[in-house]
Amino acid sequence: MTDSEREEELLFGRMALRAGFITEEQLKEALKKQEESPVHRRLGDILVELGYMTRGQVALVMRAQGRQLDKTDKRLRLPRRDVLFGTIAVKLGLATKEQINRALRRQAELRAQGKEVPLGKILVEEGVLTLSQVRTLLAHQRKSLMVCPQCGKRYNVLNAVPGKKVKCPNCGASLEEPLAIGTAEVNGAIKEEVEPGKVRIGGYVVLEEISRGWKLIYKAKDRSGQIVALKAVLDERVSLPQEVARFRQEADALKRLSHPNIARILDVFEFEGRHFLVTEFVQGRTLRQVLTEGHLTPSEAVRITKAVADALHHAHQKGVYHRDMKPESIIVEDGTGRVVLTDFGLAVCQEQTMRLTRKGFAAGTAAYMAPEAAGSAIDAYDATSDIYSLGCVLFEMLTGRPPFYGDSPLEIMVRKMNEDAPSVMDYNATVPQKLAAIVAKCLARKKELRYRSALELKEALIDLEREQEWRQKVTTLLKRSLCVATSVGSAAAIVYALYATIAYLLGEV
């Protein structure tokens, strides 16, 4: 263990102690076990193994530790371009903040020895990134780095907004993208923000930024005043010609979808090298926001799942799969309660993400992906894959948690491929047994054991509702009959009341 790694481990222990997660005796025991180990093991892993901390607590301390190391490590006098490179890597999910911090400290140690080594090279040597991923990050960084053509100053532009000119703080000229990053230092950072009504993307006036990442989403207004959502889904500057062609084909297929539970695709256009989808803007809360208040009742979870299954069936009939089902993709409209499915993924976008990042598995959120979606064969995805993802969402609606957890997306997918999903009744005993069986069928590891179509799933949920209504009806009539019979006070009257209730429900009277 190097000195810097030992310092990190001790800092982790002190922060866990200060947070009240462990006692001094527990910390000493874990440090002793770490010292005795023939191979280097993280202190957090040892504390989890001893039962003194949970994985969630370790993650919380590690995030706080990353922030603390940024503030306290005096050796990190680094070029801002390296810090920006690391920030982009974390933002795109290619590295963790802890991995970047470790590489930055290694770079600082080498600099102290008179060696200048690019951060990307260190991350490749440590097995964090591939050369292809480094090239992808440099391409993203080149877009973030801008230079003034008049005074020559260079700036890291954060949250750049398409269609908005960035002014040089020094001379006021419009900044331009450099042809290469070069080795020169940057002179500062500029954080761009959307000014409502002052930026146009194509024929749309941007009102606010909704999200940012691989996919930019803006709330905007079209020429008629209609509020819409703008989604940047493909960047032509890093796309192959065949990917652009396939994007247009798939986008045309999305435009043909017309269903009350699917956000309508209104337009597709290209602007400054990026391809945008224009969709219906739904005013409401995402299912993720709803779930922050706790799990749902079985009846509400079934209502939402029926609506989404109906939407999926319509899309599947048109040859379109969702590919990225998760609570963030489902919106419950304010006022009406209408359930709306959004953010259909495109196969070409998944393939491009795999090509650019070399992740080895398709884009998507691991907690909700079907086991077969982990492979690099996009063609393996079908209707049953969407059904599996919807089953994960239904599981979370009923329990407040997804069926599988793990320390990394890869660990989650490995568990999905090798383990059966737990029963929802393990986490919520009030869930009806037949509903638990429906969830289990959605989450079957083998595709052939799941519902064959989203329509079949919807019909199973309708049958469940009818059975629940029938049981409620039996209970109500029985209570009413017994109440009347008891008031008469005759055993014969009570028996007759039971017979009359059952006969009525069976349609005999």
Which one, of 343, 333, 325, lies nearest residue 265 by Cα? 343
Do 258 and 264 meet the contact criterion of CB atoms below 8 Å apart? yes
Task: Confirm if 367 and 357 have CB atoms less than 8 A apart.
Answer: no
CB 470 within 8 A of CB 432: no
Spatial contact of 30 and 47, defined as CB atoms under 8 Å apart:
yes
Q: Any catalytic annotation for residue 45? A: no
User: Which residue of the set 82, 310, 324, 343 is catalytic?
Assistant: 324
DSSP codes joined into one string, 73-93: -TT----HHHHHHHHHHHHTT
Residue 282 CA to residue 98 CA, distance in Å, equals 37
DSSP state of 220: E
Say how far apart CA 72 and CA 77 lie, in whole Å.
Answer: 11
Q: Which of 473, 391, 458 is nearest to 424 (CA)?
A: 391
H-only helix segments in 160-255: 241-255
* Residue 396, H or E segment: helix 383-399
Strand pairing class (284-286; 199-201):
unpaired
Assign 3-class secondary structure to 411-473: HHHHHHHHCCCCCHHHCCCCCCHHHHHHHHHHCCCCHHHCCCCHHHHHHHHHHHHHHHHHHHH
CA pair distance 141, 118, nearest whole angstrom: 14
Complete DSSP assignment for 103-168? HHHHHHHHHHTT----HHHHHHHTTSS-HHHHHHHHHHHHHHEEE-TTT--EEEEET--TT-PPBP
| Tokens of residue 213, six digits | 């990442």
Catalytic residues: 324
